[in-house]
Structure 1
């Protein structure tokens, strides 16, 4: 072949490859980023994102619609969410009458299925064995344009959504958060929460929901995402087969054009309800999600509240003024809010906490931040992004939020944008956005003789709403396989991939290498839980475990936190009935550091007096709040009725637990630790990008020559009470929703031969939305 012919051949080959990418079964190739390819279906403008990962025989299929509560108006707030519920009530080819109801078909093949609604989007997803991917595609395509949306379904489903609304109203934190957003925004529809206002939920018509559906549920207003074990060409054929039946909308998808007027002064609000501890929320307007300042504010939020080494944790939580705090900086399509939430300990003054937060804001505006703080925050964010790649659903979920704010590449380019932020950018962003005249401050002020719900820094803020249905018997467990959908015989065998070893006598290690790069998750436990506490005080074991994270004899808690947070790692301790538990997550290169600190914190905790006092304040604050949590109260009463006091499942009265927590001393903790902690019953599981030799070596170094524990699991001869049929009521004032527990003692534990059979039977009765 001469040189001219060679050039012609290569040019033809290159053109052929390019045309192949652009001629994928009726799809046009758009772009690629971070291993994800984007296509558009030519016939109807459906967007498609694909990322193959053949490490496990599962896939996530997700459809994101560009419609959320921002597309609603007064009179039909909450319609997006109620419509999401209605989408599970059947479509032309998937319904109860055909014995192919959505829940039945999907959950019979082991799918995890749900939907969520938020401010800027609605999404429906299935995480399922990849052999059943076609089933998910067929269902989502069918309900895109063929959903029933019947009035007889709306009426009962409305009560489910109303109950969600009531549960939110019963929660002081949810109420505070909702009112902060409603006060910060006057014109823009971020003013109302995704759940909507009660009167709208109750009165919106089925016809209005159908109009909403016919306006927004079209292929040209949707993005399909598939992540996991599939072949690209086959997936595109299936998408075309099912979604290709739909034409694009004849109308233009309406744009939401309302903008928020400039705020001309600080706004304040307060909520006065029964309770014993207060909350403070301080919000400032933040940029649109795709603006460059978003990245600077994300780093700023870590510097302020990202772990024990953060500024506000040291200034507020570590001083015993709060049980916890967190920063809210989630990006949205339009201008969002940058919020600091503080959950105060009993007796703490609201204005004192507010002033401490604002003082730190002003300090950063005047003096900026340290380079070391910026690098630590960046490490935390990079690790979080790496962790978000752990599993097909995690990736699809992150893409879903990026799609919502306007560009799916927000996810794939995020680390690069974060890395480019300089400390001067953070100071500039603080001065630009943390202005008093752009602030909205909210107080939850507890009234006497009452309690509130359990929030100890938990990030339950302005979250997307999941689908949950009243009609748990909607589907028939014997539903037939849908005609025309192929089945394959892929099977996973994870057991064969698990490596078991004993790095030291008394440590059993199990490892599993997965496809996720660089990320390692460590979980483990050892005997030393609540049942080993002295009879006189059952809180000693729990506080011993909690104090493991408060420093050692050689490093204080801040030194340890800085070492972990500087590499984006986390390490936490807790306890249950029998075991002390630890959980860690880190990058592969940092496993030796994390294991070293794990060993140090388990072996040589400091049990500092001041740290114990602050921990007791935080725990008591959380316990007092839990008095207003109807689920906690109902569960406790149920367990006290069913089990005798010495039974591990017995639940003490909250006031009795508070009394026990108050009595614990550092002497108690040191004695319990010395007597009970040690090797002999430690189990550790490590999953991810695992290096078995490195982990074993680190464990040998960290736990070499540690004493052996004297503990063993006792024989439990106690049985449940023979209570007979009884009904107990617990009254929690000012609550409109109810939690109910029902049960019967059966007298078996997890070693009984019928245990797993009963687990399966219980799941059939009420384990999912297709249950009986």
Structure 2
């Protein structure tokens, strides 16, 4: 299944910098055409512009894509594109501190670098002011980044820390080694994050040359998506971008082509880890090539759960615990990577033999028309889902633009729709040759037909896309204001006679999508004692088969309906999440009714799921971040082992899974589960009466036989501690701190604690902990704070965290303690910090209010706890009235290092 994710020589005497400072008259963007709702414009300076208006959104996104990635890096420049991405969040000559400005605006922002491109995006609540600022900032960042040596000196450690986090993943490192072995000459063989040596040695002036060469309007595509005024957007683009002069330099095309591989290659990686992995890489084609879609469909046929041929041979047969594959969307000849996880108690030799044998046999397999239709349905469902989420689609276009042209995405979809069985058979025979694979040893061989890389020129892409019109798109002009008053006006609540509470929010979602979240509270402490593993497995297996449907049939139906249903069990709550469309809501709920009333829990699926769960536990057993967070949670909550809130160790979880039997699942399913104490929210542009009838029919007769009694958490005093857990051969470490206290969100001190956390480290990168550890000292890639203050009890906590190089342990420990001590000291926070934090916090909440998931959580809290929706606005009013003296007083009342426990995990050699 496709995952919708992730050579430069500077001429002597080139005066790009001087050219960039030159500006000229404002020019209106020229309209080029429209393709399936995407309006394309251009400027004379070469900037390409795509507008994706969506009135159903309450947010907007600005995304700018530069055609520069690790593919464009030359000798000594490995990682420069990624390092530059970091530096462009520092400052510009006109706007100053970019991170500070982004923080004050709230919303969300990020930058990413990949093989062919770099992008930056900002998501804000829709307003002319936010749109104007985003476009002004991106135009200023394009030409006026300061790139100071002092900033670069600090950022080295941050990027190195990010590199080290990646080094902690054996799967990721193995992939890097395989790809670099498969691509001996082309830059796709280089890691995007780069060489640590190059990163640490590059100077600001060298980085600036790279910046001034590639960060130009003629090498960029600007995308604006969501709810915005098109005329205003074009006006702002004209104002800020059209005045940037087109550079006189011409960018040379990269021309390296990877030669045909001349034999199977083998890589062996040895380092600390817990789960065995098998991987294989095949050379394939550019995204623009028609075979790309056929290969993607073949990958789906091979790896899909539960129908895939490889999946059945490896996972269903219990030789492996999981399998995935992907083919990057790139400009030049791509690659296909398979990854297989093998539990440590399974035979690696047996899995390897089966894996290679199955791969060798792909070209000889007899595929069916049903295989093709199933793969097409799943891929097209995923494509439609991403296209109907404008914010995600705007980001998704990044990869397609990097591959050559945004319209290639539609051509890919069209190619999927037109796929035939003959296409699948053709690519299976053409690309799955042993001498096109990187996995094992080199074997000399005569008269081999080698698979040659496929090249495609810019002219060919232009010819391919110039007359493409795409499918007719129906305009959807429905709007929805992201405000509490509007939510109330469009919300209807219901209650079944059995006790289930639910609400329907009439809100248009692009593509006529419908989302829902139900939480079913069940049983009591006695009936649930010691059954945590059973409950988790029951939830995982609710889609494994019913009296009328097999696992495969259930998945096929969901794919055809373009729907997704998932279940999770935790504590005493079963969670159901639903993602569907208006046209499919009825059959989707009918399927759910079958799942919750007729599940049969096949023994073979039970064995498979337990293996998957155990492998997942093993995979994170020695991950420093996971260890630190889990260990502090275990020490902070001293429940007995059979309590529903007890957090077992990795060994205890594995033992619990090993003890699960099918008859326990059946008993849990028949006696514990039910909807009579549940609540849920459905969001979509729906007929309330019809949907209410659906909910009643689906859940109305689903009654738990176990009497419900809410189990409340217990407040435990936390002893001061500063413990270190040594995990060998890990290049990144973690620290997690925690303080327990009593408070609920109705407490008068609650607003002050919310803002204290925002200023500690819960806000953007300008809050104290990330500013100190990342921005000032450059010793942590990620650092911050968090709070958990509940609604219906007083078991509250504040936490602190940082990820860092183990050699920086002493500095991290000192900085973390110092920042906490400063905040709880006499001086505390300042009025300026508070005002800045309030603006950031409120903007962030407004952004969240524009998302369906946040709205469902808000409404579900109302249904479950009786929390009025008006409390959302009331909290902001209380925060607005806060004085910094109140916050400093509250911090001293609840937060002290004498009550703080810290867990450090990593390879601390000294």
TM-score over 0.5 for the alignment? Answer: yes
Distance 1:185 1:584 in 2: 42
Find the partner of 1:722 among 709, 712, 718: 718
Find the partner of 2:131 among 130, 133, 140: 133
CA change 1:280–1:153 in 2 (3 A) is same
Distance 2:284 2:37 in 1: 30
Find the partner of 2:638 among 618, 640, 644: 644
Distance 1:167 1:233 in 2: 44
Kept after mapping to 1: 8 A contact 2:532/2:570 = no
Distance 2:76 2:525 in 1: 54
Return the offset for 1:537: 4.8
Q: Could you say which residue in structure 1 is the equivalent of 2:56?
A: 55
Distance 1:510 1:308 in 2: 34
Q: Which moved more, 1:566-575 or 1:154-163?
A: 566-575
> 1:654-689: CA deviations, max 9, x gaps?
112211221122222222222211121222333345
Q: Does 1:31 align with 2:68?
A: no
Q: TM-score, length-normalised on structure 2?
A: 0.73
- SS of 1:523's equivalent? strand
> 1:377-400: CA deviations, max 9, x gaps?
111122112211343321211221
- SS of 2:124's equivalent? strand
Distance 2:198 2:75 in 1: 8
Distance 2:382 2:367 in 1: 22
CA change 1:717–1:242 in 2 (3 A) is closer
Kept after mapping to 2: 8 A contact 1:283/1:338 = yes
Q: Could you say which residue in structure 2 is the equivalent of 1:659?
A: 655
Q: Does 1:628 align with 2:622?
A: yes
> 1:486-532: CA deviations, max 9, x gaps?
xx999984443333334663333333332311433333221249977
Find the partner of 2:508 among 505, 514, 517: 514
Kept after mapping to 2: 8 A contact 1:26/1:41 = yes
Q: Which moved more, 1:305-314 or 1:254-263?
A: 305-314
Q: Does 1:700 align with 2:696?
A: yes
The size of the alignment, in residue pairs, is 699
Q: Does 1:122 align with 2:118?
A: yes
Q: Does 1:576 align with 2:570?
A: yes
CA change 1:260–1:345 in 2 (3 A) is same
Kept after mapping to 1: 8 A contact 2:614/2:654 = yes
Find the partner of 2:266 among 268, 271, 279: 268
> 1:530-555: CA deviations, max 9, x gaps?
97774345322212222223222343
Q: Could you say which residue in structure 1 is the equivalent of 2:673?
A: 677
Kept after mapping to 2: 8 A contact 1:398/1:411 = no
Kept after mapping to 2: 8 A contact 1:636/1:652 = no
Return the offset for 1:114: 1.0
Distance 1:517 1:700 in 2: 26
Distance 1:161 1:82 in 2: 7
- SS of 2:105's equivalent? coil
Q: Which moved more, 1:119-128 or 1:710-719?
A: 710-719
Return the offset for 1:53: 1.6
Kept after mapping to 2: 8 A contact 1:545/1:575 = yes
Distance 1:334 1:628 in 2: 37
1:300-379 paired onto structure 2 within 5 Å? 300-361=298-359, 363-379=361-377
Distance 1:152 1:112 in 2: 26
Q: Does 1:236 align with 2:234?
A: yes
Distance 1:565 1:359 in 2: 30
Q: Does 1:746 align with 2:741?
A: yes
- SS of 2:724's equivalent? coil
Distance 2:600 2:552 in 1: 13
Q: Does 1:498 align with 2:520?
A: no
Q: CA RMSD in A?
A: 2.6
CA change 1:440–1:364 in 2 (3 A) is closer
- SS of 2:741's equivalent? coil
Kept after mapping to 2: 8 A contact 1:639/1:649 = no
Structure 1: where are the runs of 5+ without partners?
1-22, 96-100, 444-487
> 1:585-608: CA deviations, max 9, x gaps?
234322222212222222232133
Q: Could you say which residue in structure 1 is the equivalent of 2:900?
A: none
CA change 1:308–1:528 in 2 (3 A) is farther
- SS of 2:722's equivalent? coil
Q: Could you say which residue in structure 1 is the equivalent of 2:557?
A: 563
Distance 1:271 1:233 in 2: 55
- SS of 2:543's equivalent? helix
Q: TM-score, length-normalised on structure 1?
A: 0.85
- SS of 1:741's equivalent? strand
CA change 1:490–1:560 in 2 (3 A) is closer
Distance 1:141 1:45 in 2: 14
Q: Could you say which residue in structure 2 is the equivalent of 1:112?
A: 108
Structure 2: where are the runs of 5+ without partners?
1-24, 442-480, 769-910
Return the offset for 1:419: 0.7
